[in-house]
Structure 1
Amino acid sequence: MNNRTWWNGPSFLQQGSENWPDLPTSFDVESANAERVKNSTTIVHSLVTTSRQVATPNIDLEAIISPERVKSSQRSEENLTAEGISKAKQIWTKTVRMQCFPQEWKELTKGIKEVRMKQIILYLDTQGIIRCKGRLGESSLSEGANNPILLPAKHKYTTSLISEYHKVVHHNGIRETLNAIRQTYWIIRGCESVKKVIRRCVLCLKFEGKPYTSSVQPDLPGERVSDGLPFIHTGVDFAGRLYVQSNSQQRKVYLCLYTCASTRAVHLEITEDLSAVSFLQSFRRFTSRRGLPSTILSDNAKTFKSASAEIKKIVRCEEVQTYMVNNQIQWKFIVEKAPWWGGFWERMVGITKRCLKKTIGRSTLTFEELRTIVVEIEGTINNHPLTYMYDDVEGVSQPLTPAHLIYGRQIIKGPSQRQFEIPNANKSLTRRAKYQFKLLNDFTRQWRREYLLGLREHSNCSREGHGQSRRTTVKPGDIVILKDDLTHRIW
């Protein structure tokens, strides 16, 4: 702190220039180019200008660097006045005018009162600011609303101004922000500029940001597009709990759902508990009526937390594993924390729950009554259409359903004699079996031609979020929210 050279500089500076030491100097062009700043920052306003055409505004440098403005390293708030802010805005506006509208400025300073730029008529006000001439001079609007100040679409000052007005309207939408700006300014392609700024608003992204879309979807697994027998590839899941009346008391039961991966058919079983024995009993009933599957698909054992920890014991039980191995059944689990891999059975679970909720409501049924309703819901779901119902002159066509692929007809109504009539009057079982086999093959071809081709399109790769285009990849500089399973949101 006591270094005189630090405070006063070299001693020869206090003497005349003739007494200054003669030191050799050298200038290296290559080293100077190496130190040249790349991507230099655009100077929005400078107190010193070398241009002779631009009139430098009168600035009181003494007022700026006056020590009275700083008291104990803290700026006095009394010196920040509305008049000073207004003058600063004028300086910024004039600087933007010279950088972005030099041609219009040149024409207006030559004596031309009005200059047309596309659909906008420009003129200079008394302060030398370019304004847009409106047609509402006789209205009660202010001067800024009737004749707003012209601003470019792509400029740092315009971006900062939009951000400031976006905060003024409490981070409201595009329309509210643009309406507040147009009370004073007219931004070229204003709606586009406001959208661009709001999309980058950190606070808006935090509360309204949409998740990134998934990457390009891979091919569907072979189980989903297999044209083999129904339930050859089966997904299994539990739903519940449900309550039944037994001896004037309520007890819990659970619903075990088996669904075919390709035909979307379902088979519903009620189990008294979540033990491995009850599951094996329901699985034996399922295989006795639907046949042994070659593949069983289910949630990962660690993802059964939503139902009960007892379900984990089912897939880990040695008795269950032995039964599957003895019957040459392969049990596959989906990836942990990837529930969309089991979307085809989760969808069926949702449909089943909706039917139960609307049918039973808050009623408490006996076990036999509940089992009857569950079987009826199973028949209803197996008759849901897989394809569209096309117009037919004869009126005999009907949409393809899972029941057609299992039984060869819809099971909730009797067969139509006109549709299922055998051309030949032969009543032999061999002829009947051949006809049934041909009928199932026809439905399989219809499934392959109409339903399977409908799975070809990608469902969610081209969706857009609210007010913004959704990308599939994250890029450096993007604002993201990290989601944790234990908490709702972590910023």
Structure 2
Amino acid sequence: MELVGSKLWSEGPQFVLTDSSTWPDDSPPVKELPECRRSALVLSQEMDISHSCKFGNSFWRMQRVFGYIYRFLQRISKDRIRHKGELAVEEIKGGTHLLIKGIQHVHFAEDYKALTLKMKLSPRSKLLPLNPFIDAGGLMRVGGRLQNSQLDFDAKHPMILPKSHHITSSIIDHFHRKFLHAGAQSLLAALRQRFWPIGGRKTVFAVINKCIQCFRLKLVEHIMAPLSEDRVQPNRPFVISGVDFCGPFYSKSEVRNRPPTKCYIAIFVCFVSKATHLEVVEDLSTQSFIAALKRFKSLRGKPQTIWSDNATNFVGAKNELIELRQMFLSDPQNMELWNSLTSLEFHPTSFPALR
């Protein structure tokens, strides 16, 4: 109620209504208020103008924005070809270099200054393992040992990108979509054909994990079919087996000055215990496989079923077994001999079983 009738509250002090020359000089000193925060002014010779660009999340748009900046810089210079209309490839490439160079000047300022003055980098520098250098255009690139290769200059010496920067993330996202949502390993390999992001694998993983389309595809999991009876029921080792070839390998001859000979390995895998049996074969012929099969049978016992892919040597072995069976079964006296020789089931994937 006192404030309602107070003229000092509603009108202020009376001396403010008079001329300012008549105002009293004994004004109370201004004290530092506890709520005030101190502000620090930081001066920098370089400025990353990409932060103020509204297209910072799109590398495709940033290339064209800086492409027009590059065109403007070329127009104000002398003895330069002036382009009109849409951006040319050279202008987009020059704008990209202008964008990356501005980022490098700010985020690698100490390293850039040391390389410019031809001084050694600090032992704490993250760029020290990359052996960086500055090219003719002022870009900081990876050194490496590929100078004498036939790769492009960007592939031999990729441009270095800072780890935590929105342009680095937009570049990774751009290549992720360009290569049809490639995985981290293939994306990093394709990215390093032009750029070298610091902390590459973790940086790429961080960007891919934010991709909505990849996240939705991860939610759809394919349900695998149940295992076959041969895989889950107990049985003697190698009674039910699978066979395949690997190679070629080269074996050194015991004879001096003779070149190495080519050979292969037949791998027999037990379906129940996952035990493996290896047999060296000379070639991929049917006769070599039958010889390896006989050695396998003499050591591991007679298998009941062998599964294989539809390779030519496996099909040839099956056909020879069929002919051998018909030869024995044509004479009833040889029926008992056939049963004692083999009870093998041989399964190429696209042929019926041979019993």
Q: Answer 1 or 2: higher relative contact order, Cα 8 Å, separation at least 6.
A: 1
Tell me the TM-score normalised to structure 1 length: 0.28
